[in-house]
Structure 1
Amino acid sequence: MSRAGWLAAVAAVIVWAFYEKNLCTWLKQHRLLAILSSSALAAFFVGIFFLKPASAMGRLHIWHMDLLAIAAEPLHGWGLGKRAFAFGEAQSRFYSEALRTPSVISLSCCPEESFNEYLSLAVELGVPALILILAILFLALRCLMKRESPLAYGLVAWMVFAFFSYPLSIMPMVILLAVFLGAAFSLEEGAGRRIVIAASAFALLLFAGIFINQLDEYRQHRKAVDSYASSRMYLRDGTYDLAVECLEPLLDDLGSEFRYLYDYGYALHKTGRYEESNSILQRGASISCDPMFHDIMGKNHEALGNYEMAEREYLHARDMVPCRLYPYILLMDMKASQADTLSAIEYARAAAALPVNPRHAGMQGLRERALSFLEHD
């Protein structure tokens, strides 16, 4: 069911057929079959799209937001690990700048990956870095083609797959790319090859030394991950004091993982430590595009009496993923508590107008809250 995998396989076979089987000459000699084959191939691509059309449209939307993020920082990018944050900022601007149709609003999301490795690299590192990376890949492909290596078709498949997925986040795919590049840039017998072998051996020894030095740190990280997993039962049980007690010592080891930062910030929020909660949640919001960070930061500001800041956070959360009801409900409740009935009714109507998945009990509950508010006011 991986459309990216099928596209990659078809692309590799087509390139193989052109280079190994003189497909171009065959097509010229059999024009009718060429037309029929082209039609079948077009039908194949259309069928792949309609296999999961909602997913395909969602992916196009993700690419659109990534392109907007690239346009905002084209030269040096947003920084390593900042793709999700950049996506959230781009999507927030996209929905706040103009009134979008319900069909476009329904595409809003908060993905962890770009589903396009090239766009992801451009978002994080900038367009010049992407051009350099593409140059290396195409140079490697040219070298493999020149040597008539079958690995060339594997690299074609990898490159096409990367256009629709995120292979650099999957270790076996990273190792596979290293094999392709190693095969492409390896030298023939002679002094040059001996230098490469010696340099590789030195690099391997250096890597082994680094790995040994980092082994304790890795074990500490794994221990922190296990402690975090076990502490989540306190969050489920609502014993937030115990959750904070368990989560606080893990900050140094897990401070770059947004799920941990959200859970820790939420536990601090539930125990009334609002300013500390906002500090942790802001840290998580800088590496994530999940609007829930801003929802909880808004609730913290509201509890502290900073209503202007609370509204700003709620509106930002709404603009990030406008198909979610929760920011509207938070705005409705806050405006109602301030006796701003007209604004509260406006937000309640906006929440009630959003499409809701009937199988999602939480969304249904939020919609019923909005309808109930409208009935009583």
Structure 2
Amino acid sequence: MSYRVAVVGATGNVGREMLAILDELQFPVSELHALASRKSQGLEVAFGDRTVKCQNLERFEFSQVDLVLMSAGGDVSREWAPKIAAAGALVIDNSSAFRMDPDVPLIVPEVNPHAIHEAKKRIIANPNCTTAALVVALKPLHDAARVTRAVVSTYQSVSGTGKAATDELWNQTKGLYGLNEVAPKAYPKQIAFNVLPQCGDFRDDGYTVEEAKMWDETHKMVDPGIRLTVTCVRVPVFVGHSLSVNLEFESPLDAEDARDVLREAPGVMVVDKHEDGGWISPIECVGEFATFVSRIRNDPTIENGLSLWVVSDNLRKGAALNAVQIAQLAHEEGVLTSRGYRTLAVG
């Protein structure tokens, strides 16, 4: 069985990765449509060994496709995802628009694959890029000893903000070496050779929207009983998000047992040698599918505590890869058909 697939936002960082990963994973595509805004109509994007011209989203007939992968921002998703689903296609959306909708499953296939049968609106949400990395590492440990509290600090690359932020880091770096000032636009302060303790807009409680996304989404996918506090930081890295994670468990789980659990966990790669360079950095995860875990160690300051370091490619597992893996899961579970989406009884 093969599918007629459309990618909305095909000219963006994540959209291009979606196209690449559809090809890499050999997802059964019979037709591929690249969609974008009117201003990008006619631009060519790569799909395998060929190129595809972008079509205008507003003029596309969605009844002719079975599956739509969306990465064009929340406003576009809120307007178009319900229309696309009404036309019969299954929508996998990378924006935050539907993540907390009770009738829209939020899925990381290694964490909650059973939720694939709960897409009452024919829409499935992809989590925030940092949440995806966190829950892939968190869920197997939670299953082993039940996490009661988590303290997370993120170190997020500029590609998570988009192409304009990536260009800003590049131009500021060049400008500073050339003794030329490049004023910040994508961020409130200079990102080159700096770290910014703000990802997203501030809420009234002093946390940012990005921080709230992480605990809300983790609660939805893993366990609402986990007490989770987050500090999100933007760092001058092009691709690859990192997380420092401190966990408190209900039951004892020492570092060696945690390594064994994580080595057997789907989607996780443990790189944890107690020597110089025996850990993973963001630049080493670029282009990889796995979520990497390093620096696994006991926390002697609390009972049943562990600390660990988590790294993943935010454009892949944090976005495009997870979306395609959801599509694979829908195919395997019979939720996706060559004529679109069909509802299965939840059992």
TM-score, normalization: structure 1? 0.22
Higher relative contact order (CA 8 A, sep 6+): 2
- Structure richer in strand, relative to its length: 2
**Rg (Cα) greater in structure:** 1
TM-score, normalization: structure 2? 0.23
